[in-house]
Amino acid sequence: MDRFEVLNNIEIYTDKFTETGSFSHAMQVFCWARANGLPIPEVILDAIEKGFVEWGKHDGRKGKGLDDIFGLKAGKGNSSVLSPGRKIARNKKLFTIMAKLMLLGWSEKNASEAASRWLDEQYTANPGKYRWLNHANSGRKGKDDHPEEKNLLTPESILRERKKNKQLFAEAERDAAQSLIFWDDQKKQAVEKFYLNLINVSIEKENPKTAQELLEILVS
């Protein structure tokens, strides 16, 4: 695989890990990144660290070995120790979409609208698969059992989440910069076309970030 294919697979399998909590996906991402000299996504490093911290607490006692914690035993389900919190996972996904578009020159407002529409379409099309995207699954309940779901799906709510989670957005921006630095013009145009079709409005763009500026974001 060339570096573009590797980067694409890293994105896909990081999303799979975020969605399922299956550590086999995390291991695949780690190996691809290390073998190709690419940064390892923070969510993967966090999972590895979390697993070894948990293992250290129990000093390898029965039922708390690495295979139990990382969910590597045959027939074992996903480990709750490693599964990212749904709200964090959802925000990271939305922030990454926003960051990619903003690095391509989109305004924050247009980028948040695109992320909102993406979320709405994914969850509406397949609520079972994408239940982790739904705020109602965070465990918070209200009078209608969906206290913030409608607000969450608006661009304004996503922008509020961004303001409250500056560090998470910075991580998403680095992940976005890592992707864009390997994209050619055809790939960039295809991504923009996809999100333009979602929001179905004309937008005003600034100049996209240069390769040098993307590198500076990566090392910041």
Query: Do 92 and 57 belong to one domain?
Result: no
What radius of gyration, in Å, describes the C-alpha atoms of the chain?
18
Query: Do 147 and 56 belong to one domain?
Result: no
CA distance 59 to 158: 41
What's the confidence (pLDDT) of residue 189?
Answer: 93
pLDDT beyond 50 at 148: no
Query: Do 95 and 55 belong to one domain?
Result: no
Q: Which residue among 21, 36, 69 closes a domain?
A: 69
What domain range is 137 assigned to? 86-219
pLDDT beyond 90 at 131: no
- How many domains, in total, are found in the chain? 2
DSSP-assigned states of every residue in 55-90: HHHHTT-TT-SHHHHTT-STT----TTTSPPHHHHH
The overall pTM is greater than 0.85: no
The listed range with the strongest mean pLDDT (5-9, 10-14, 77-81, 195-199) is 195-199
What's the confidence (pLDDT) of residue 59?
Answer: 65
Query: Do 41 and 127 belong to one domain?
Result: no
Over range 94-120, report the average pLDDT. Answer: 94
Per-residue pLDDT tens for 195-216?
999 998 888 889 999 999 999 9
124-127 CB contacts, 8 Å cutoff, 24+ apart: none
Characterize 63-78 residue by residue with b for buried, 16 or more Cβ atoms within 10 angstroms of its Cβ, and e for exposed. eeeeebbbbeeeeeee
DSSP 133: G
Q: Does residue 138 fall inside a structural domain?
A: yes
